[in-house]
Structure 1
Amino acid sequence: MEGVTTNETITSHTEFVLFGFPGFIKNRKLLIIPFTVIYIIIMVANLFVIHRIFVIPSLHSPMYFLISLLLTINVTYTASILPKFLVGLTFDWNQITLAGCLIQIFYISFMSLFESGVMLSMALDRFIAVCRPLRYNDIMTSSFLVQLSVAGIARSTLFISPMVILTASVRFCRSNIILNFVCENAGLLSLACGDTSKPQAVGLMVRILVTVTDVSLILLSYSCILYTALKIAVGKARRKALNTCGAHLTVAMIIYLTALISSVIPRVQTHMTPDVQNIISAIYHMTPVSLNAFVYGLGVKEIRRSFTKSRKNKTMSR
């Protein structure tokens, strides 16, 4: 596991230690409480909204299918990060193999790109609903939704695989301690003793390409929606057209702003402590998945109304 030199040959590490929040070394177990609470909130909130969409027939529409797909990504994304960290805190078992680290990097990056693709599909759905309402049922069919999902999976796999393959080819001999609670590509590459320019360049190129493309198309879509709503719809119809887009835009802003913050701040503040870097990482990984369910659960009238109705039914049955 340790890097040793024998006949001028450096052995690459195959096992690492995820040592998040090193400044809390004496009170690390206290971190179990806040992160467990965060994990429970994320899982309960997302699964509740998914359940409401699944059991209420009136919510069986393309828009709510995409919402449930987004929240399912949130659940699986969180499950790939926090349980491992909580187990490490509880039992002091922080080891992870190189293969396990690469799998986590692939999965986290894959889900981030897939999430962006779902947001783009949501924008397309709202564009057709508002700007092409007469063709909505003909275009947004079940088969088309499946095609969008498959295309999102294929795009994420195609973009992320080269970065992970290039990272796997690097030798890691500086240290086997990752000062983070999750395997991230930048954190793993910081332990490399060889040239890391290729995986870093590919990772940066993918992030810029996907973010710029998706954000541009989303903004274009909602600009057309706003123009159409203000030009054609009046009164209640206009408010409905705008309200259906409000939650999607809020979620998109949360996702892309947290990604932007996590990318810019570490590059501006080069002398950050590992704890500050961990906090930024936690904000990036946990904020969107924590808030998305609340935005849709409270911001979308149909889901909010179904929740209120179910509470009234339970109260009357007592």
Structure 2
Amino acid sequence: MSEGARSGNSSHVLFVFRGFPSLQDHRRLLALPVSASYVAVLLGNCLLVYVLRSAESLQGPMYVLICWLCVVDVLVATAIVPKMLLGLLLDWDQVSLGGCLAQMFFTHFLSSLESTLLLAMALDRYVAICRPLSYARIINAAALARLLPVALARSGVVMATLVALAGSLRYCGSNAIAHCY
């Protein structure tokens, strides 16, 4: 018998997403607005990326940041909504500890990346307002090319540490999670 089982401090390896506990009878009906929202996110952001990439006048640094933000928004929705829809429609609401930690990593990694891109957009506007004559020298394609790997590394290291710490914990209470993700 393992040490954890003898001491009564065993960890769950399977979790159940409860989603909307008070609306359990209407789970399949809830899938309609969630699906519509997901399709709207996909279509809206993909359309915006298409317009930003195809219009010659929309190639400045701010538009590149907006394009990156749209891509991150699509990835955030894709990290959460498909599993939520499976739970609502097919009652596939169980997730392994590894799957839960992976979803946690991607959700928080992409949210952190999104906040970093918003910070970059704020800095872009700050330079445009306060240093307009130096804007083209300070904010250019090379600066944006350096920003993306730094933002990815920052978000990745912080969230990998967070998930590693969460993964090392023992989960011995209820295995029911009162959320959809």
Q: Which residue of 2 aligns with 1:57?
A: 56
2:40 is aligned to 41
* TM-score normalised to structure 1 length: 0.54
State the shift of 1:76 in Å. Answer: 0.3
In structure 1, distance between residues paired with 2:151 and 2:171: 32
Identity %: 38
Give the letter for the 1:101 counterpart. C
Partner SS, residue 57 of structure 2: helix
- One-letter identity of the residue aligned with 1:131: C
- For 1:123, the aligned partner's letter is A
1:135 aligns with 2:134: yes
Is contact 2:27-2:89 (8 Å) kept? no
Give the equivalent residue in structure 2 for 1:116: 115
Unmatched segments (≥5 aa) in structure 2: none
Q: Which amino acid aligns with 1:32?
A: A
Give secondary structure in 1 for the equivalent of 2:95: strand
C-alpha separation between the residues in 2 aligned to 1:96 and 1:146?
A: 37
1:84 aligned partner, one-letter code: K
Separation (CA, whole Å) in 2 of partners of 1:8 and 1:124: 54
Cα distance in 2, alignment partners of residues 10 and 116 from structure 1: 38
Say which SS state the counterpart of residue 84 (structure 1) adopts: helix
Superposition deviation, residue 9 in structure 1: 4.2
**C-alpha displacement of 1:160:** 2.1
2:157 aligned residue: 158
SS of the equivalent of 1:10 reads coil
- SS state at 2:16 partner: strand
- 3-state secondary structure, aligned to 1:20: coil
Aligned to 1:71: 70
Alignment size in residue pairs = 178
Find the residue that maps to 1:59 and give its secondary structure.
coil
Q: What TM-score, normalized to structure 2?
A: 0.92
Residue by residue over 1:54-79, the C-alpha shift from the partner in whole angstroms, topping out at 9 and shown as x without a partner, is: 11111011110000111111110001
Q: Report 1 or 2 for greater relative contact order, CA contacts < 8 Å, sequence distance ≥ 6.
A: 2
Give the deviation of 1:10 after TM superposition. Answer: 3.1
Instruction: Please state if 1:125 is matched with 2:102.
Output: no
2:172 aligned partner: 173
Name the structure 2 match of 1:21. Answer: 20
Q: Letter of the aligned partner of 1:45 in structure 2?
A: G
SS in 1 for 2:103: helix
Residues 139-172 of structure 1, C-alpha deviation per residue, up to 9 Å, x if partnerless?
A: 2221210111111112212322222111111111
**How far apart are the structure 1 equivalents of 2:106 and 2:95?**
15
Alignment partner of 1:89 is 2:88: yes
Q: Does the aligned pair in 1 maintain the 2:86–2:92 contact within 8 Å?
A: yes
1:225 aligns with none
Q: CA 1:123–1:83 in structure 2 vs 1: closer, same or farther (change >3 Å)?
A: same
Give 3-state SS (helix, strand or coil) of 1:81's partner. Answer: helix
Distance in 1 separating the partners of 2:92 and 2:142 = 45
Structure 1's unaligned 5+ residue stretches are: 183-318
Q: Deviations over 1:191-232 (max 9, x none)?
A: xxxxxxxxxxxxxxxxxxxxxxxxxxxxxxxxxxxxxxxxxx
Please show how residues 187-202 of structure 1 align to structure 2 within 5 Å.
none
Deviation of residue 27 (structure 1)? Answer: 1.8
Aligned CA-pair RMSD: 1.5
Please give the alpha-carbon distance, in whole angstroms, between the structure 2 residues aligned to 1:31 and 1:124.
40
CA distance in 1, matches of 2:126, 2:19: 43
Cα deviation, residue 6, structure 1: 4.3
Runs of 4+ in 1 over 4 A off after TM superposition: none
Alignment match, 2:103: 104
